[in-house]
Chain A
C-alpha cells in the first residue's frame, strides 16, 4: 500500500535530462529509466501518491492497479535509498 504519510524530500532532486538525477542533499546520483524520471519530476513538483498514480495512468495508459503498483515500488525504492522518508 502507498503510505499516505510519507514525507517527500523531493526538492533536493536535480534532473539532468530524463534519465539522470542528482540528489543535492546526499550527493548521490542515479541513472533512471524514463518512467521513473516522469514520476520523480512529478514528485518533485509536489504531486502526492494517488495523484502520481493518476499521472502514471494517463501517461502510459496503465490500469489503476498496475499504475499504483509502479508508484508504490518506486516510492519504496526511494525510501530505501533515503531519498524520501
Chain B
C-alpha cells in the first residue's frame, strides 16, 4: 500500500469523489472491471467504487474480495447509444458524487467519447483515446493500419455479406477465424463451418464480419497506458503460458522482450494513444510477431501486474485526479499468474433487488444457510 500517496490524496480532497467502473463479470469470459477495481483498492482502499453493470448476475457484484464495487447500477446496453448512457450517468453521478469513470468494455468506448465533453462539463474525468485512434485500431481497420506502419498482422478481410465472406475465406485459405466487429471469434475449417459461424456471430453482432488468417503460434499480450502524445507510461508483457479453449489466458508469464517493446512503442506512437490498452500478438516459428488485436481498455489480467508493483489502474486514477504518481516497477520476467476460479455465494434476494430497482448496495454476505463449525 502506498500510504504517503493515500494521505496526499486525502489531503488534496477530503471529500473523495467516487469512481465508476464497468465490465464487472468474471466468469468463463472474464471482463476487466473487477481486476481494475481490485487494483485501485490495492492503492486506494478507501475510495468508493460504483459499478456500472449490464446484468444483475455479473459475478463481482457477489464478491467479498477486493474486486467488488460498493454499489452497482444497471446500465442501458451500449447499443442504445450515447444519449441513453448520458441520461443514466447523470442520475448516478449526482447520487454517488462520481468524479472519475473507467469504462472497461470495448463497446462502451465510442459512447464515452461521444459524451466526453458533457462529462468534462460535469467535472467527471475519464481517460479516453480520440475517435481517430479508436477507428484506426478497430478490428475492421487494424490490418490496413499495420500494413501502413510495417508491423506484421494476420491477413484480414472485412465482409459485408456471406458471399464476400466465402470469397475472402477461400482467398486466405482454411482454417480462418470469423470475428464479430466487437466480440466473438470462431474458427472455420470448412465452407460449412464458415456459414455456421457467420450465422451465429451475425445474429448477435450483425454485419460486417471479419475473416482472418489463423496463425498457429505463441500468444503475447502487452498491457499499457498511453500518454496521448505518442508515449507509453508503462507496460507489462506476458506470454500466455496456458490458454482456454476460447483462447483466454489461464496462465501468463512475464517476458522481457525488446522486439515486443519496440513494436508497442511504434504502434502507440502512431496512434498517439491516450489511456489503457492491450496489444495482442502471435508468434509463429520463423515468423515475426504479428499484431492481431488491440483492445481499447485494460485487459482482464490487469490486476496481475498491479500485484507485482506495476499498478496501471491506480496510475490512471492518479492522473485523472491530478496527484503525484506512485512509481511503477518494471515487471520481472518469470513472474506469473494463474487464473483461479472460485464459487461465490449469493442470495436470490440480491438478484431480485437489483432487477427490481436497478441499484444494489453491496455489503458482506449474511445468510441463514451459512454452515459453521
Binding site for B on A (CB under 8 A): 12, 14, 22, 24-28, 80, 82
> Judging by beta carbons under 8 Å apart, are A82 and B256 in contact?
no
Contacts A25-B333, A27-B218 supplied; 16 other A-B pairs, CB < 8 Å: A14-B334, A22-B334, A24-B255, A24-B333, A24-B334, A25-B255, A25-B257, A26-B218, A26-B255, A27-B220, A27-B241, A27-B254, A27-B257, A28-B218, A80-B285, A82-B285
- Chain B residues engaging chain A, CB cutoff 8 angstroms: 218, 220, 238-239, 241, 253-258, 283, 285-286, 333-334
Q: Which of A14, A27, A80, A82 is the one whose CB lies under 8 Å from B239? A: A27
- Which residues of the partner chain B approach A22 to less than 8 Å between Cβ atoms? 333-334
- Chain B residues with CB below 8 A from A27, complex form: 218, 220, 238-239, 241, 253-255, 257, 333
Is the pair B334, A26 in contact by a Cβ cutoff of 8 Å? no
B286 neighbours in A (Cβ, 8 Å): 82
**Interface of chain A: mostly helix, strand, loop or mixed:** loop
- B247 vs chain A, min Cβ distance (A): 16
* Shortest distance between the CB of A43 and any CB in chain B (Å): 18
A25 to B238, CA, bound (A): 10
Contact check, A26 vs B257: say whether CB atoms are below 8 A apart.
yes
CB-CB under 8 A from A24, the residues of chain B are: 255-256, 333-334
- Residues on B with C-beta less than 8 A from A82 are 285-286
- Is A26 a contact partner of B256 (Cβ separation < 8 A)? no
Instruction: Give CA–CA (A82, B286) in the complex, Å.
Output: 8
17 of the cross-chain contacts (CB-CB < 8 Å) are: A14-B333, A14-B334, A22-B333, A25-B256, A25-B258, A25-B333, A26-B255, A26-B257, A27-B238, A27-B239, A27-B253, A27-B254, A27-B257, A27-B333, A28-B218, A28-B239, A80-B285
Interface centre among A22, A26, A28, A82 (most CB of B within 10 A): A26
Top 8 A-B residue pairs of the complex, sorted by shortest distance between their CB atoms: A27-B239, A24-B333, A27-B255, A25-B257, A27-B253, A24-B256, A22-B334, A25-B255
Cα distance A14–B239 in the bound complex, in angstroms? 16
